[in-house]
Structure 1
Amino acid sequence: MRLLFLGLLAVSSAVFGQTNPEIFLMEVSNDLGEFKISNFRNITNNEGYDSQPSFSDNNTLLFAGTENGQTEIMSYYLKNNTTLRINKPTSGGEYSPQKFPNNNEIAAVRLDTTGLQRLYAYKNSTIEQGTSRILLNNLEVAYYAFHDNNRIIASVLGGNQLNLVIANLKTGEVMPYLENSGRSIHNIPNSTSVSYTAVNEDGNNDVFIVDIDDDKESYFVCQLPIGIEDHCWLNESILLLGSGARLYKYDFYGKQEWVEVANLSNYNISEISRITVSPNGKNIALVANINN
């Protein structure tokens, strides 16, 4: 049965949170369930908005970063510690960059100075570097994840809340799926399923799983701690999230409760917001504030 949740969620036209966050990268191991981190570093160290990281492969991290006072699509290369801009500068700002699964294009949400918010595809090749084309002309995409090269599952603006849809980039078909969704949408490693968050009756976020290739039924996983909006997957059975300066995991094959695995307060950070894991599970990128 389709899961519908009704309620109100204040959503600005930008739908993007912190004003001066930084992106931090660390190596991670989880051998025999023992969570260890190393080589923790700030990879942006930049005035302005640096957030919304996503790994395009094990060596490349995309993110929305500030350059010359404007938010652009930035690409950080782990092997040589360099950062490059992907898109040609526009009058608007680019957010939520993600690589298409099976080509070199990069998708991103563009928020124009007119208030228009649309999903675009950007070329990432030496010949047409940074040129763009609009996707889904009439849909105000806020957050999304690719299911394959043609389909995304996305939270879109709908009045004063977000609503989840399944959209086909090739045909333009949009299937409404859920009202009052959250912003955290992720592919599950070694799986054809996607996880998403939905706002429950108490105003907190629940995590659900859906396989849009199968019956499109949703299955409840767990509730995120109060006030937490984001999650990600370390592997096919372990979820991760950040709260304050700490990391927590939820293990399907363990206690099935949120357990603290790392305290990062010694790195002088706080207010972890977003978090993502490299495809091989060896690196974590997260967004946080630096304590003054």
Structure 2
Amino acid sequence: MHTTLQKYVYFPTSFLFLIYLTIHPAQSQEASDVFLVDAKNNILGFAVFSGSARQITDSDRYDNQPRFINDEQLVFASADQSGNIDAILYTWENERFVNMTRTPEQSEFSPDLTSCGQYISTVTVEEDSSQRIWLYPVNFGEPELLYDDISPVGYYAWQGEKAALFVIGEPNRLVFPYARDDVYTIIENPGRSIQQRPGTKEIVFLDKNANIVVDGKTTFELKSFDSERRETHSLGLALEGSEDFCWVDKNKLLMASGNDLYLRKVNKGIEWEKVGTFTYPGYGTISRISISPNGKKIALALHRLQE
């Protein structure tokens, strides 16, 4: 049975709208492509099969921000020839691509599936350069605006029927909108990667208020925010020199450094362990990562090297 998103405000609109990533214009995004890699996660441990890597996009433009919405499909942000960014749905069983948006005057970044499963959400750069969260029905109905009074949004993460929002400003803030008159500031100066911790009410992020140097590289503290108790706790240090992460399960965290993938078991305090290396001719380092709910597929975005 589907639940209904508890949107405290939205506005239908007559044509498809849009998104933007954060502080840079869409045209400045680096060329990148998305790859799929096989993995496994069971009682025997977690493994990545680097040799199984398969390229799913191939252009000199921006294909990035992959996000699994189930065990068979992912969504990602993709630039067309004019530099406009749309949200694309990819099904790997039949290698099919479907435009979830087609908005020549606006751009959609950071696509994801809402908790009710009825919408693809994005951060949208609107025609007046506003950046807000929009919802696109999976049945291609009319899009809807979420949180009309919170802007500019750079990134976000779903926690049930609400979304924690990275609000761009001086300083940047991570907020949780309990209601229109109760927008709670979790922290100032968060990192761009914001993720729900599976099986919990926690939103996890990087605290960038203090630079910590490990092996000559800057790192930051990982923190979790319990949205029910409004409490913040430390989960230890992120991987040095890295900012993006994803959860394999409730206790296993995955990050990338260069072309290497690392795993950490946050419930045991274990140090970061290298679990795989991924290189591909013509491509540089890993920029974004996402894992399927069953832990069998990893999506990687790699920067395309300049010729």
Residue in 2 that maps onto 1:3: none
What SS is found at the alignment partner of 1:228? coil
CA distance in 2, matches of 1:224, 1:230: 9
Could you say if the C-alpha distance between residues 283 and 218 of structure 1 is closer, same or farther in structure 2, counting changes exceeding 3 Å?
same
Residue type of the partner of 1:289? H
CA distance in 1, matches of 2:27, 2:204: 20
- How far the C-alpha of 1:281 sits from its partner, in A, is 1.1
Contact 1:110 1:119 in 2 (8 A): yes
Residue in 2 that maps onto 1:283: 297
Could you say if the C-alpha distance between residues 266 and 68 of structure 1 is closer, same or farther in structure 2, counting changes exceeding 3 Å?
closer
Residue in 2 that maps onto 1:46: 59
Could you say if the C-alpha distance between residues 234 and 269 of structure 1 is closer, same or farther in structure 2, counting changes exceeding 3 Å?
farther
Q: TM-score, normalised by structure 2?
A: 0.82
Residue in 2 that maps onto 1:189: 198
Contact 1:106 1:121 in 2 (8 A): yes
What SS is found at the alignment partner of 1:102? coil
Residue in 2 that maps onto 1:180: 189
User: 1:70-104 CA distances to partner (integer Å, 9 max, x unpaired)?
Assistant: 21010001211111100241411110111111131
Choose from 209, 213, 221 the match for 2:224: 209
CA distance in 2, matches of 1:205, 1:158: 20
- How far the C-alpha of 1:251 sits from its partner, in A, is 1.7
User: 1:117-163 CA distances to partner (integer Å, 9 max, x unpaired)?
Assistant: 1111112205x2xx3222212322111111112x111211122x421
What SS is found at the alignment partner of 1:226? coil
Residue in 1 that maps onto 2:23: 12
User: 1:212-240 CA distances to partner (integer Å, 9 max, x unpaired)?
Assistant: 12x12111112223331111111111111
Residue in 2 that maps onto 1:153: 164
Could you say if the C-alpha distance between residues 17 and 53 of structure 1 is closer, same or farther in structure 2, counting changes exceeding 3 Å?
farther
User: 1:6-55 CA distances to partner (integer Å, 9 max, x unpaired)?
Assistant: xxxxx725499851011111110245235231531111112311111111
Residue in 2 that maps onto 1:133: 144
Could you say if the C-alpha distance between residues 22 and 243 of structure 1 is closer, same or farther in structure 2, counting changes exceeding 3 Å?
same
Q: Does 1:165 align with 2:175?
A: yes
Runs (4+) of structure 1 moved beyond 4 Å?
Answer: 13-18, 170-173
CA distance in 2, matches of 1:62, 1:34: 24
Contact 1:230 1:274 in 2 (8 A): yes
Residue in 2 that maps onto 1:79: 93
CA distance in 2, matches of 1:158, 1:86: 29
Contact 1:52 1:95 in 2 (8 A): yes
Contact 1:13 1:115 in 2 (8 A): no
Residue in 1 that maps onto 2:209: 200
- Stretches of structure 2 that go unaligned for 5 or more consecutive residues are 1-21, 212-217
Choose from 92, 95, 98 the match for 2:109: 95
- How far the C-alpha of 1:171 sits from its partner, in A, is 4.9
Q: Does 1:274 align with 2:281?
A: no
CA distance in 2, matches of 1:190, 1:90: 38
* RMSD value, Cα: 2.4
Residue type of the partner of 1:35? A
Could you say if the C-alpha distance between residues 225 and 253 of structure 1 is closer, same or farther in structure 2, counting changes exceeding 3 Å?
closer
- Stretches of structure 1 that go unaligned for 5 or more consecutive residues are 1-10
Contact 2:26 2:85 in 1 (8 A): no
Q: TM-score, normalised by structure 1?
A: 0.86
Could you say if the C-alpha distance between residues 172 and 82 of structure 1 is closer, same or farther in structure 2, counting changes exceeding 3 Å?
farther
Could you say if the C-alpha distance between residues 267 and 188 of structure 1 is closer, same or farther in structure 2, counting changes exceeding 3 Å?
farther
Residue type of the partner of 1:219? H
Residue type of the partner of 1:185? I
What SS is found at the alignment partner of 1:201? strand
Contact 2:35 2:57 in 1 (8 A): yes
Could you say if the C-alpha distance between residues 101 and 34 of structure 1 is closer, same or farther in structure 2, counting changes exceeding 3 Å?
closer
What SS is found at the alignment partner of 2:30? coil
Could you say if the C-alpha distance between residues 193 and 230 of structure 1 is closer, same or farther in structure 2, counting changes exceeding 3 Å?
same
